[in-house]
Amino acid sequence: MSDRSASAPREQLAARADAIEEAYEFFLGYASQGLPGDTGGHQVRDFLKKFDRAVDSLGAFFTGYVESLGLDLSPYRRFIEVIDRDARDAQAAVQMVLAQPSISSQTVDNLNANIHVRALLTDLFLIDEILKQY
């Protein structure tokens, strides 16, 4: 495998992780503002959409990533299933919030506290740390 083909999945992972983390950090700030809704701007929706795109098909992405590293998939398979489940559950919450006509700070605060969003973040930290060595 060339260095270029090996770096592409790493770059994709970095881009997805950055989008998720940046959105989460924005959500923390937005939640603290006490806004009744997002009628004055669409920045919260932009970050929700970025989060949504970044978590889409995350399980399949990690399966392909592990395989691209030439690793035996079997020790990773069950954890990738956990990531996929947490990603789909977090994505469902994000999509529900996006469907609202107005998004208050309190709604975003509740999204931040959602166990699936938090679990997904820690899932990503764990697998990223493990895959860094390859």
Which burial class, exposed, middle or buried, applies to 103 when counting CB atoms under 10 A from its CB (0-12, 13-18, 19+)?
A: buried
pLDDT digits (tens, 9 = 90+) for 104-131: 999 999 999 999 999 999 999 999 999 9
Please state the rounded mean pLDDT for residues 76-91.
98
Predicted confidence band of residue 1 (pLDDT cuts 50, 70, 90): very low
Q: How confident is the model at residue 77 (pLDDT cuts 50, 70, 90)?
A: very high
Please choose, from the candidates 120, 99, 104, 117, the residue with its C-alpha nearest in 3D space to the C-alpha of residue 31.
104
Q: Give residues with Cβ within 8 angstroms of 1, minimum separation 6.
A: 68, 70
- CATH T-level fold of 3-131: Four Helix Bundle (Hemerythrin (Met), subunit A) (1.20.120)
Q: What is the identity of the amino acid at 90?
A: A
- Tokens for 33, please give them: 């503002």
pTM of structure:
0.89
pLDDT band at 37 (very low <50, low <70, confident <90, very high): confident
**Better-scored residue on pLDDT, 132 or 6:** 132
3-state secondary structure of 127: helix
Report the pLDDT averaged over residues 73-99: 97
